[in-house]
């Protein structure tokens, strides 16, 4: 066992205060490209921004190994950091990619023109396109219902309009506008939207997204002419250290992430129509394929005693985080627990097993358990029936590579050097 490192982070009080304020911020998610899709259990942009500003400098590398809808990447690139996001979900990777695409002025003008006329392509009396391959694979389930076929047709016409934009980058933007609109129209609603409302919402969404694309472009360019690199990997974070992306051996300065939560049920990959009927329509709209059922995205089923598959998966993904880190990397996570009393200690043991040691903010010394907690009013997720909290208390955990963890991966130099500009 190596010497035990000081468990308090050395940070100026002002930086600690900024991190705490960011974590507890409850402003609605807005700005840049954050509104492109409502990814379940997404970060508050203020929180990730505070973490990035606290622990990194320009050109440093920020890694999010469970990137979801890409909140962390948007903030990292806008602040002039390089960033890598990883997610096992094709839908998450799609959303994160679109949100971090820096569209050229010309592309934005084309999208602006599209946003003003996309509404006209939604016509209940007009022709439509049926995506037969998706229909055969069951992605139309619950969409063909007599009460929903009009919305299904509106979605198909919207997607067709996106395809006609003609380039993969523009098409993805268009598909994302339809994705957000269809999510609004279908997901978890007691009263379904009608086609006129769908058309109006699609136009408004497309216009707001164009503004977001402009703001994101301006933010990226404010960091100078050299664009920061952003990479989105669609894969599991387990074994990430062997991915060719990390072959140079550059360690992230900050890992900021929120993995699936233990015992807290979040439906990442489906929308719910008509009560609890699940539709895989988001994948069809994004032109992606679904994984292998809900436990694929949540690190195992809650029915396993002691959440075994969950903690095994966290150990694997976090061991990879540790392998990619160096002694200066800080790992910041936002996690919620359905039964914190036993799950939090178990989670922390799992982090230790993975080679990561917990550390604390000095200003929180003596307060509660010394950790940064936040409560989230009105969160739309469902904790385990047996849960002792409503799943709305989240904690920010801070870790560093354990002093006795292997220093480097396979003999390479682990540094965080500025990448040559592209």
Ligand X SMILES: C[S@@+](CC[C@H](N)C(=O)[O-])C[C@H]1O[C@@H](n2cnc3c(N)ncnc32)[C@H](O)[C@@H]1O
Burial class of residue 406 in the structure, from the number of CB atoms within 10 Å of its CB (0-12 exposed, 13-18 middle, 19+ buried): exposed
Least distance between ligand X and beta carbon 376 (Å): 12
Q: Which of 86, 179, 280, 398 binds ligand X (CB under 6 A)?
A: 86
Q: Which of 61, 88, 118, 230 binds ligand X (CB under 6 A)?
A: 88
Q: Which residues contact 8 (CB under 8 A, 6 or more apart)?
A: 359, 360, 361, 362, 365
**Stretch of residues binding ligand X (CB under 6 A), selected from 20-28, 88-96, 343-351, 377-385:** 88-96
Alpha helices, DSSP H only, in 261-403?
281-286, 294-298, 308-324, 340-353
Cβ atoms within 10 Å, residue 366:
6
Interface map 64-83 toward ligand X (x if CB under 6 A): -xx-xx-x------------
Interface map 303-342 toward ligand X (x if CB under 6 A): ----------x---x-------------------------
Give the residue closest to ligand X by C-beta: 68
Query: Rounded CA gap, 351 and 398, in Å?
Result: 11
If binding is defined by CB under 6 A, does position 238 make contact with ligand X? yes
For ligand X, the closer CB: 326 or 394 = 394
* Enclosing H/E stretch for 398: strand 393-401
Query: Rounded CA gap, 344 and 249, in Å?
Result: 32
If binding is defined by CB under 6 A, does position 246 make contact with ligand X? no
Least distance between ligand X and beta carbon 60 (Å): 19
Query: Rounded CA gap, 75 and 50, in Å?
Result: 10
For ligand X, the closer CB: 43 or 103 = 43
Q: Which of 259, 262, 340, 391 binds ligand X (CB under 6 A)?
A: 259
For ligand X, the closer CB: 39 or 139 = 39
Q: Which has the closest alpha carbon to 176: 212, 137, 135, 147?
A: 212
What residues make contact with ligand X under the rule CB under 6 A?
39, 41-43, 65-66, 68-69, 71, 86-89, 92, 236-238, 258-260, 268, 297, 299, 313, 317
């Amino acid at each position: 066992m190596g010497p035990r490192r000081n468990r308090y982070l050395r940070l100026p009080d002002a930086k600690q205060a900024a991190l705490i304020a960011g974590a507890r911020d409850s402003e609605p998610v807005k700005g840049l490209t954050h509104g492109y899709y409502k990814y379940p259990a997404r970060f508050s942009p203020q929180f990730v921004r505070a973490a990035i500003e606290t622990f990194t400098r320009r050109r440093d590398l920020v890694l999010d190994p469970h990137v979801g809808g890409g909140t962390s990447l948007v903030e990292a690139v806008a602040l002039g950091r390089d960033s890598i996001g990883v997610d096992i979900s094709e839908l998450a990777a799609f959303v994160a990619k679109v949100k971090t695409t820096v569209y050229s002025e010309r592309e934005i003008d084309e999208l602006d023109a599209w946003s003003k006329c996309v509404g006209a392509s939604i016509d209940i009396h007009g022709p439509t396109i049926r995506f037969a391959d998706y229909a055969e694979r069951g992605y139309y389930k619950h969409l063909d219902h007599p009460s929903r076929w009009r919305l299904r047709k509106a979605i198909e016409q919207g997607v067709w309009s996106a395809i006609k934009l003609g380039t993969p980058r523009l098409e993805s933007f268009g598909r994302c506008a339809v994705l957000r609109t269809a999510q609004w129209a279908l997901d978890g609603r007691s009263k379904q939207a009608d086609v006129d409302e769908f058309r109006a919402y699609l136009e408004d969404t497309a216009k707001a997204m164009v503004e977001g694309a402009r703001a994101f472009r301006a933010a990226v360019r404010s960091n100078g002419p050299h664009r920061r690199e952003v990479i989105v990997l669609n894969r599991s974070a387990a074994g990430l250290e062997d991915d060719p992306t990390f072959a140079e051996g550059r360690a992230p300065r900050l890992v900021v992430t929120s993995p699936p939560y233990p015992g807290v049920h979040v439906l990442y990959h489906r929308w719910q129509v008509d009560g609890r009927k699940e539709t895989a329509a988001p994948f069809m709209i994004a032109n992606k394929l679904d994984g292998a059922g809900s436990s694929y995205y949540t690190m195992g089923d809650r029915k396993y005693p002691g959440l075994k598959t969950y903690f095994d998966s966290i150990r694997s993904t976090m061991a990879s985080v540790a392998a990619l880190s160096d002694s200066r990397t800080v790992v910041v996570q936002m996690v919620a627990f359905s039964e914190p009393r036993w799950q939090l200690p178990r989670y922390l043991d799992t982090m230790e097993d993975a080679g990561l040691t917990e550390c604390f903010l000095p200003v929180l010394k003596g307060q509660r358990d010394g950790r940064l907690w936040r409560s989230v009013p009105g969160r739309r997720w469902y904790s385990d029936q047996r849960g002792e909290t409503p799943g709305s208390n989240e904690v920010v955990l801070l870790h560093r590579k354990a002093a006795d963890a292997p220093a480097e991966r396979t003999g390479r130099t682990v540094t965080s050097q500025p990448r040559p500009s592209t």
